Structure formats: C-alpha cells, structure tokens
Chains A and B, each alone.
Chain A
Amino acid sequence: QKEVEQNSGPLSVPEGAIASLNCTYSDRGSQSFFWYRQYSGKSPELIMFIYSNGDKEDGRFTAQLNKASQYVSLLIRDSQPSDSATYLCAARKDFGNEKLTFGTGTRLTIIP
C-alpha cells in the first residue's frame, strides 16, 4: 500500500463547476497535509496546507481533512481552464521528520 494515494485521473470538469480531488494516507503519524499544483514541465506550486480536522478555505480553494478516515481533499470552485494541471497531495509527519511524502498526482482538465 502506498503511503499517499491519489486517483491518477484524468479528471474532467466543465468550466465553472466544482472540481473535487481526493487523497488518502496510510500513516497515522502524518500531521500536516499539502496540496501542490504542477503544470506540465514546471515545478510544484503550493496551493494550500492543512493540519487540523475540518475545512480550510482560501479563495476558490477549500482543503478538507478527516484524520479519523485518513482522508484529505481539495475542492476547486468556479473551475477555470487555467486550473488544468496535475494536483499533488503530500503528507508530512513533522516533529523532526519534515520530508514530504507525495501521491502520484491527479491530472485535472477543465473543459471550456
């Protein structure tokens, strides 16, 4: 079992709709969770991080964390064609173990 799992997609969403990206993790020692966006040929760009159960909103993006279910999600409201990218979920244990463990990413395509 991979430590961080994501559906590789591709996930196709109409422009203006809500895109929902999901991630599960296997290590209960994971404390912080990160969503990065990666355009083809570019490096990952941080979108959001979350470490408390519940929702965290930043503009059109909402991250959700459920530690009991070991589940993290990212919602993108009012999806735009510029949101088309691969979204990477990462987990971190913290407390001296700061490496990020990444999922393989979900490829999102926004259809105009």
Chain B
Amino acid sequence: EAGVTQSPTHLIKTRGQQATLRCSPISGHTSVYWYQQALGLGLQFLLWYDEGEERNRGNFPPRFSGRQFPNYSSELNVNALELEDSALYLCASSPLTDTQYFGPGTRLTVL
C-alpha cells in the first residue's frame, strides 16, 4: 500500500512570494492534516480537512490556507512568505478519527 506522498521535496522561495505544497493521502483515507515543524519548535498543527471541508485550524495567520480536492488530495498555500515560515511541512492522512500517518514532508526555505 502506497503511503502519503508530498511534493515538492524541497522548495526555495523569497520573502513575499507564495508557496504551494501538495499532498496525496493513503488510498481510502478521507482526512488530511497539515503540520509545521520549525527548528526548535516541534510539530505545530496547521489545518485539518475531511471530505473536502476544513474541520479545524491551528493558531496560524490567514495567509496559511489550503483546500482538499474530491480525490482527497490537498494543497497548502502560504502567501506573503516570511523568513520564519522556513520549516518542514508535514502532511498526514487518516480514515476519519483514526491514526494519522505522515508523509515525507516538504522542506520550505524562505530567503
């Protein structure tokens, strides 16, 4: 069974630009979660999507947004990038209310 996939692996942007990160969940999983892992800060919850709807949002500014498509894949968009947005962005998927499995992550570097 294929795991969670994320693209791109690495992304380099400059301050003020926009970044788009993509995630494909494990087949059969309807929920997608996004987390940010910045150096020294641990994993912080960003967003949770299930069945195309945003179900929960973490304490991040509105310039962090996303969506879930009918095939349950998901996009995370970060607008007006700031230096402190540099982090590993992890996507996880699960069947609703079940255990979350993580993808390999996208390393975003903002210069």
Give me the interface of A with B, judged by CB distance under 8 Å: 34, 36, 42-46, 49, 88, 90, 94, 96-105
Contacts and interface: CB of A to CB of B under 8 A. Distances in A.
B45 A101 contact: yes
Nearest to A48: B99
Given A88-B43, A104-B42, A46 B101 contact: yes
A97 B101 CA distance: 17
Interface stretch (B11-19, B64-72, B76-84, B102-110): B102-110
Contact of B102 (A45, A49, A101): A45
A13 to B, nearest CB: 22
Q: How large is the interface on B (under 10, 10 to 19, 20 to 34, 35 or more residues)?
A: 20 to 34
> Binding site of B, secondary structure by majority: helix, strand, loop or mixed?
strand
Counting chain B CB atoms within 10 Å of each CB, which of A42, A100, A102 scores highest? A100
A43 B48 contact: no
B55 to A, nearest CB: 7
26 contacts: A34-B99, A34-B100, A36-B102, A42-B104, A43-B90, A43-B102, A43-B105, A44-B102, A45-B102, A46-B99, A46-B100, A46-B101, A46-B102, A49-B99, A88-B42, A97-B56, A98-B31, A98-B33, A98-B48, A98-B56, A98-B94, A99-B45, A99-B48, A100-B35, A100-B43, A100-B92
